[in-house]
Amino acid sequence: MQPFRKGRYRARIAATEEDVRAAQRLRWLCFYGGHDDTGTRIDADSLDADCRHVLIEDEASGRLVCCFRFLPLAAGSQIVRSYSAQFYNLSALSRFDGKMVEMGRFCVLPGARDPDIIRTAWAAMTRYVEQEGVEMLFGCSSFAGTDPSAHEEAFAILKERHLAPRRWWPRVKAPRVVRFARARRISAPDPRRAMAAMPPLLRSYLAMGGWVSDHAVVDPALQTMHVFTGVEIRAIPPTRRRLLRDAAS
């Protein structure tokens, strides 16, 4: 993917160790926050070396406002290499025979609320998907906090409308999970309110026809709960696909 500009933002793939460290620094600010006198704390793991890191920068100031990483896989047979495979049993997806990309560590600079930031990020991912012939995107979408009661309505809508197809069903692997089927039932969840409460990345996946696991994994280190999320590129509704292509042009 070549660097490109959308409005006031520039998207590019990290080219140096300093670029990757800048992304890791932004990740720490987003995932851990808090005060750091030294300004050197980062979020990093062993998968960073295998991934490509996308940076979204404010063109005028050069400030990094968003980043994410992605891991290209030739087919489902390689899915054990993914971050998601640490938390979910993805044996069903190991049969997927097309190119896949795991998208992860997606974050936006705290306080940056311009929706064009996320649009630019998706434009960058769309460019890569189109250029490389990727057939499935997947990853983990995180809810803030580890109290499932705070997300009951969202979980109820996910269970009712957005569960994975049986042929790709992600099964339980992590020690601490919240099963949607066992969550306290809501008599009449409000779809609009539930969607508004979902993480922006997950809303984007669902708008493309994406689907989720039937449970959330509790991550005490990051103080989040995440759901496995996937979307088959050929299943994206035509209108949505045209919008993504237009944004990426």
pLDDT at 243 over 90: no
What is the pLDDT averaged over residues 19-34? 92
pLDDT tens by residue, 40-60: 899 999 999 999 999 999 999
Q: How would residue 186 be classed by pLDDT, with cut points 50, 70 and 90?
A: low
Asked if residue 52 lies in contact with residue 69, where contact means CB atoms within 8 angstroms, the answer is: yes
Which pLDDT score is estimated for 28? 93
Q: What is the CA angle 31-106-207, rounded to 5?
A: 125
Please give the backbone phi and psi of residue 5, each rounded to the nearest 5 degrees, phi first: -120, 140
Q: Can you tell me the distance from the alpha carbon of 46 to that of 98, in angstroms, rounded to the nearest whole number?
A: 25
pLDDT at 39 over 80: no
What is the pLDDT averaged over residues 26-34? 88
Which pLDDT score is estimated for 102? 98
Q: How would residue 126 be classed by pLDDT, with cut points 50, 70 and 90?
A: very high
Domain range summary for the chain, segments of one domain joined by +: 70-248
Which pLDDT score is estimated for 249? 81
What is the pLDDT averaged over residues 110-117? 90
Q: Can you tell me the distance from the alpha carbon of 199 to that of 103, in angstroms, rounded to the nearest whole number?
A: 15
Quick one: CA dihedral 43, 46, 47, 51, positive or negative? positive
Residue percentage of the chain with pLDDT more than 90: 75
Which pLDDT score is estimated for 181? 81
Which pLDDT score is estimated for 194? 85
The beta strand positions in the chain, using DSSP E, are 4-6, 9-13, 52-58, 64-73, 88-89, 100-108, 136-144, 171-172, 177-179, 211-212, 215-219, 224-232
Regarding pTM above 0.75, the answer is yes
